[in-house]
Amino acid sequence: MTAHSDSRAASVPDWGRIETVCLDMDGTVLDHRFDNRLWLDELPRRWGERHGIDHAAAAALLRQRFDSRRGTLDYYCVDHWSAELGFDIPALKHELRSEIRYLEGAAEFLDLLRARGKRVLLATNAHPISLAVKNQYSAIGQRFDALVSSHELGVPKEDPGFWTRMARAHAVDVGRTLFADDNVAVLRAALAAGVAWIYQVLLPDSTRPAHAPVAGIPGLLRLADLGASLEDQLPLLAGPVSSPRGGAASP
């Protein structure tokens, strides 16, 4: 596995101890290219055209507005931004649906986890409307035991209380949980909450350069880089590997 670590967090998972795997959606399982194109390119361009502002100026204005809500549920709330900007964002998501795709190896890694009997939960800050659109075009729900949006728990993943609520609502034992995400603030909150194995995905958008790893958190170029240690530690002993369930939109 490709791990970059100088951390107090373990860089190689102890798969025998891990019961639950919690995974972020955008930039960890699904390619962040879709979201970057929507929020940083298409929305500023179209919103700017409507207000007679060029793309660069519109992007700067929207960035200020987005940054003012960063780390809150509003930041991730489609209803909030649709109302704030007077723009039908769900319609734009559907229009750009051809960009919704799994990151390299992610679908296969999810199937590997399920074949080894791991409980796999999606833990996303995406608004339920965004989650439904992603699920409609990627069938992501068929590869998880449950899809959890932080909006249903009342706090974003950046909030230290997220994992307390996750533990209570979804019977997650953080001491036997692996969590991967591409957002450093979210990962630091998970580390503080005692999640035992934590990984930062360094290549969330397949069309952009990789992020640098941060101190204290092992980095992976791709989620799928965890697959080799899983197969080494927990080989399938007998019987056919079950075929992936769903996966209609898998590349």
27 binds Mg ion (CB under 5 A): yes
Which has the closest alpha carbon to 129: 62, 76, 68? 76
State how beta strands 197-201 and 177-181 pair: parallel
Number of residues this chain uses to bind Mg ion (CB under 5 A) = 4
| Minimum distance of Mg ion from residue 80's CB (angstroms) | 18
Q: Which of residues 58 and 122 has its CB atom nearest to Mg ion in the complex?
A: 122
Helices (H), 86-171: 89-95, 106-115, 128-138, 150-153, 162-170
Residue number with CB closer to Mg ion (36 or 177)? 36
SS3 content of the chain, % helix, strand, coil (to 5): 45, 10, 40
> Which C-beta is closer to Mg ion: that of 26 or that of 159?
26
State which of residues 26, 99, 111, 159 lies at the interface with Mg ion (CB under 5 A): 26
- Quote the least distance from Cβ 106 to Mg ion, whole Å: 12
Q: Is 182 in the site for Mg ion (CB under 5 A)?
A: yes
Q: Decide: is 24 part of the binding site for Mg ion (CB under 5 A).
A: yes
Q: Which residue, judged by CB position, is nearest to Mg ion in the bound state?
A: 27
d(CA 215, CA 7): 6
CB of 32 to Mg ion, least distance (A): 7
Tokens of 11: 């860089």
CA dihedral of residues 29, 126, 204, 219 (deg, nearest 10): -80
Q: Contact region for Mg ion (CB under 5 A) — 25-33, 37-45, 104-112, 222-230?
A: 25-33
For Mg ion, the binding residues (CB under 5 A) are 24, 26-27, 182
